[in-house]
Structure 1
Amino acid sequence: MLAGDDHLSLPIAGLGVVPLLIEVAAQFEEGTLDPLEVADRSFVDSVSTSGLWRHLHVPALALADLATIAATAGDPIAVNALLQRVGHDRVRERIDALGLTRTAMLDRFRDLRGPDDAPQVAVGSTRELASLFAALVNSTVVNAAVSAQVSEWLSLNQDLSLIAASTGLDPFAHEQDAHGLLFINKTGRDRGVRVEAGVLAGPRAGVAYALVVCFDDLSITHRLRAHDAFRVLGVELMEYAH
């Protein structure tokens, strides 16, 4: 439909969790990782600026539950726990196996980034991200079972405030839409970064998309202008699909 600077590798913040989820799902499928294995929060690099798990009383969760809240709420401690368990090397190998040359998960989530830390959690190009989401719904990422598992996790995402705002879907229950919309997405947010990738399919057509906006977060007005770009694209996608 359209493309612009889709070859550039840009910061994608929490959207970078998708390759990690693919690796976790693949290891679940292979049997090399137990979905019911429990991870203790006290042994995980903590993040105090955002997330859901840090507000829960339960100190330990199964890896399958961590994958769910990583996809649903973008929980940074859950992401750190999964990354710590599977290892950065395995995620890099998975990214290479998927043929992604402009996408990388560089680091875990941190409250503060020092001079010795990677400048971003992850980077990626919109061309690769849109293609990756298309492959997920077409069941060609690793295999059908892995694609279905990752798509199921992503279908629970509750952040529908960017492109997804134009769908009118219920953020807490959008799996069975009365108007025939199929929707999965993942967003990423950081200072001066907003990003979303996903698939929107309606009665007429389906489309995979990705949009990254990097901006000077100098005021709320600057931030709202960035958000407006997502909503404009969201309206266009809805008109195309519905």
Structure 2
Amino acid sequence: MLTAFPPPELPGTLTVAVPGLLEHRVDEPLPLASVGKLLLLTEVARGLTGGALEADEPVDVLDEDYCGGSGLLARLSQRRWTIADLARLTAAVSDNSATNALIRRVGLDRVNKGAEELGLTQTRILDRIREPRLPEHPPTFSVGTARELAALAQQIAGPAPWARVVLGWMAACSDRSMVAAAIPHDPEDDTLRDVPLDRLWVANKTGTDIGMRCDVGVVRGTREVCYAVLSACPPGREFEMVQAMRTIGARIAAFTM
């Protein structure tokens, strides 16, 4: 049964898709910040399971790949990593430099074509990660809708070999500060879990930038619930959006218990 979601007064835009249960402005495109990395991770996983990529293939992180913001690679001395290493860093700590190296290796056109093949028509990566992003660059890293990202989460929760790979990467995500903050779970449990469970388990990917907070995930308990919650607001008002996202997380937790 679909439940309407009237959000409280907020300083920005909130879009919510919990398929079959909760929706609000689900088709409104918003900047995604690092949630757009899910498209990259999905295409990498499809390449690994389809034979186009090898998990242990070494990739040199070039000077042009290094980027500030989230991640660890910019602070580490090693400059050669495997494709699997870079994907894990992208998923677990949203590493911007690892993301750029993977985009360069896989190709932005291939990532977006793969998204189209999975049914995403409004959700795209527009550019590499840039810190800072200048006027001559595309205005944001990625854009998309809650409906399409929740549908992608449902595919990631499915039985396809590539999906199991992505779900495993998402289970190691270190950011549970948004929707997942109100879902009682063990954030260090990165072992794939299948329903039904006697407790709750979360795999997710978040995005954080000035004026943006986004979270897409899979929650498993006595049942499975997939979600996408995207928000955009004026700079300095992000925590108010996060509080609303946590309210949605509490509702998702109730759906899964």
TM-score scaled to structure 1, two decimals? Answer: 0.91
Q: Is the 8 A contact 2:185 2:199 kept in 1?
A: no
Give the Å deviation of 1:187: 0.4
What is the alpha-carbon root mean square deviation over aligned residues? 1.7
- Give the whole-Å Cα distance in 2 for the aligned partners of 1:17 and 1:213: 16
Within 5 A, what are the aligned runs for 1:85-96?
85-96=105-116
Give the Å deviation of 1:170: 3.5
Q: 2:175 aligns with which of 156, 159, 174?
A: 159
Q: Is the 8 A contact 1:175 1:182 kept in 2?
A: no
| Matched residue, 1:199 | 218
Task: In structure 2, give the amino acid aligned to 1:9.
Answer: P
Q: 1:224 aligns with which of 239, 244, 249?
A: 239
- Give the whole-Å Cα distance in 1 for the aligned partners of 2:169 and 2:188: 13
Within 5 A, what are the aligned runs for 1:22-101?
22-101=42-121
- Give the whole-Å Cα distance in 1 for the aligned partners of 2:78 and 2:120: 36
- Give the whole-Å Cα distance in 2 for the aligned partners of 1:176 and 1:33: 23
| Matched residue, 1:215 | 233
Matched, 1:113 2:113: no
Matched, 1:181 2:181: no
Q: Deviations over 1:32-71 (max 9, x none)?
A: 2221111222354221233111122222111101000101
Task: List 4+ stretches of structure 1 deviating above 6 A.
Answer: none
Larger helix proportion of the pair:
1
Task: In structure 1, give the amino acid aligned to 2:241.
Answer: A
Q: Is the 8 A contact 2:158 2:164 kept in 1?
A: no
TM-score scaled to structure 2, two decimals? Answer: 0.86
Aligned residues with identical type, % of pairs = 34
**1:26 to 1:191, Cα distance in 2 relative to 1, 3 A:** same
**1:165 to 1:174, Cα distance in 2 relative to 1, 3 A:** farther
- Give the whole-Å Cα distance in 1 for the aligned partners of 2:156 and 2:68: 32
